[in-house]
C-alpha cells in the first residue's frame, strides 16, 4: 500500500488523538487501530510512546521556536520594535501548528513528566526573557507572560465567535503586542 509515508501518518494520527483525548488517555492501540496497522508497527518507527510525542515537538514547534529565538538574539539590544517583531514571528510560526499548541497547552501536567516538556518550557522561558525587561516590575512581567499565553490560547479558543483562524491569530497578536508595549513603557 502506502510506502515511506507511514511514519508521517503515524505522527498525524497521534497528534490528532493526543490533542483530542489527551496524552495519557491516548493509547498506542488506538493510534494503531485508527491507522489500520498493528501496535508493533508503531514500534518499528518510534522507539517508545515518549519518542513519538518527542518527534512531534521537534518537527512542529521546537525548530520554529528556535528560529525566532535565534533571530531575536541577532537583534540586540532588544528595542520595542524588535519585541513586537518577535511576537509577530512567533505568532506566525505557531499558527502552522495549532493542534500541537493546543496539545501543549492542555497537557502541561502530562508533559511535565516528559523530557521534551522541559525542552519546550525552556523555549517559552527564553522568549519571555527576550520580551520583558530584566528588572521589569511584577505587573509588567504578568503582561509579558500573558502576551505569550494569549497567542497560544487564541489558536484554539473562541470557537463560538465563528471567526476564521487567521483572524483570531491577528487579534491575539494585536493584544499581545499591546501588552508588551505597555510593559515596555513601564520602564
Partner DNA sequence: CATGAATGAGCATTCATTCAT
Partner DNA sequence: TATGAATGAATGCTCATTCAT
x/- mask, DNA, residues 124-153, rule CB under 7 A, reads ------------------------------
CB of 68 to a copy of itself, least distance (A): 21
Which grid coordinates are listed for 11?
505522527
- CA dist 151 and 163 (Å) reads 15
Report the phi/psi class of residue 22: left, alpha or beta, with left for phi > 0 and alpha for psi in -120 to 50. left
Residue 185, interface with DNA (CB under 7 A)? no
| 45, 7 contact by CB (below 8 A) | yes
Residue closer to DNA (CB basis): 16 or 50: 50
Task: Kindly tell me which residue out of 48, 79, 108, 161 binds DNA, with binding defined by CB under 7 A.
Answer: 48
Residue 126, interface with a copy of itself (CB under 8 A)? no
CB of 116 to DNA, least distance (A): 14
| 140, 183 contact by CB (below 8 A) | yes
Task: Kindly tell me which residue out of 8, 20, 44, 167 binds DNA, with binding defined by CB under 7 A.
Answer: 44
x/- mask, a copy of itself, residues 158-177, rule CB under 8 A, reads x--x-x---xx--xx-xx--
User: ∠ at Cα 128 (178, 79), nearest 5°?
Assistant: 60
- CA dist 14 and 31 (Å) reads 6
- Return the half-sphere exposure (C-beta side, CA atoms, 13 A cut-off) of residue 130: 26
- CA dist 45 and 43 (Å) reads 5
Residue 76, interface with DNA (CB under 7 A)? no
Task: Kindly tell me which residue out of 16, 43, 59, 157 binds DNA, with binding defined by CB under 7 A.
Answer: 43
Would you say how long the chain is, in residues? 187
Which grid coordinates are listed for 49?
510512546
What is the binding site for a copy of itself (CB under 8 A)? 19, 21-25, 103, 105-110, 112-113, 138-139, 141-143, 145-146, 149-150, 153-154, 157-158, 161, 163, 167-168, 171-172, 174-175, 178-179, 182
What is the binding site for DNA (CB under 7 A)? 2-4, 6, 26-30, 37-41, 43-45, 47-50
Amino acid at each position: 500500500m502506502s510506502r515511506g509515508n507511514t511514519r508521517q501518518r503515524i505522527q498525524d494520527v497521534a497528534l490528532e488523538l493526543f490533542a483530542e483525548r489527551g496524552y495519557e488517555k491516548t493509547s498506542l492501540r488506538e493510534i494503531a487501530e485508527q491507522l489500520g496497522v498493528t501496535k508493533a508497527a508503531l514500534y518499528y518507527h518510534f522507539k517508545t510512546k515518549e519518542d513519538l510525542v518527542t518527534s512531534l515537538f521537534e518537527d512542529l514547534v521546537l525548530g520554529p521556536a528556535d528560529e525566532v529565538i535565534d533571530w531575536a538574539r541577532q537583534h540586540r539590544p532588544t528595542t520595542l520594535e524588535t519585541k513586537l517583531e518577535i511576537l509577530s514571528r512567533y505568532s506566525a510560526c505557531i499558527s502552522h501548528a495549532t493542534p500541537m499548541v493546543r496539545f501543549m497547552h492542555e497537557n502541561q501536567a502530562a508533559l511535565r513528566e516528559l523530557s521534551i516538556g522541559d525542552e519546550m518550557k525552556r523555549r517559552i522561558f527564553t522568549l519571555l526573557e527576550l520580551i520583558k525587561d530584566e528588572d521589569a516590575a511584577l505587573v509588567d512581567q504578568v503582561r509579558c507572560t500573558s502576551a505569550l499565553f494569549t497567542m497560544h490560547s487564541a489558536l484554539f479558543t473562541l470557537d463560538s465567535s465563528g471567526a476564521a483562524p487567521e483572524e483570531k491569530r491577528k487579534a491575539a497578536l494585536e493584544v499581545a503586542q499591546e501588552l508588551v508595549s505597555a510593559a515596555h513603557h513601564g520602564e
